[in-house]
Amino acid sequence: MTALDEQRALVAEGCRVAAARGLVDGILGHLSLRVDDERLLIRCRSDTDAGVAHTRPGDIRLITFAGGAGAAGELDGYRVPNELPIHVETMLADARHRAVAHLHPPAVVAADLAGIAIRPIYGAFDIPGARLARAGVPVYERAVLIRTPALGKEMVAAMRDRPVVILRGHGITSAAATVQQAVLQAISLDALARMSLRVRAAGGTLREIDDADWDDLPDLGPAFTAEAAWRHEVARLPAE
């Protein structure tokens, strides 16, 4: 298996993990991974597409940033996502963002439409999630299909150098150095949104954790957080 084959498999795995967590439904949503200065791997659709939950490595195609085939035959029978500019503009804006996940988590969309800002309302329940929310989660306020570079740049501007952005009435974009981190960030964001909605539904008031608590919420390192979390996500995938 070549390095490119391994990358295809990883992006496909990330798609299935996102679907298993309910962050996407049907055929909507896509993940990408930058390969070099001019090309990326991204989930594409074919006439036999069975949905994101059933993404296989063969559905991950090598394309150019302009949307053309990244190598001979790469787009034979496949179509590039309409919202390719989400991925390209996010990657071009920050070299650290090698992986981009565009997903449609219902709880995040619902919380934002209800006027609920994603804030660190819990701590040790999910330390990476709490840290993600501590600096704020920005919102791109247009509920549009981001299919042009201009709209992609608008979204990136709203992102404000943060790793995630909520797209009002649409979904989210999560960017990171790895596919695993991009998807795990989205999972944490979804968990915060769902907890916020549950607290509100129970008649409670959302309150951020005390400032004094942050000193005792350490970064436990990637071996405990990202690596262990990803092993779990892969292990819980349904067998096909």
6 catalytic residue (yes or no)? no
Q: Which pair of tokens denotes residue 219? A: 């970064």
Residue (of 6, 17, 8, 9) closest to 183 by Cα position = 17
Catalytic residue among 6, 13, 74, 83: 83
Phi, psi torsion values for 140, nearest 5 degrees: -90, 115
Dihedral angle of Cα 36, 16, 151, 157, to the nearest 10 degrees: -70
Q: Looking at 74-136, list the stretches that DSSP marks H as alpha helix, in order from N- to C-terminal side.
A: 84-93, 106-113, 127-134
Distance CA 17, CA 235 (A): 10
Catalytic positions, please?
83
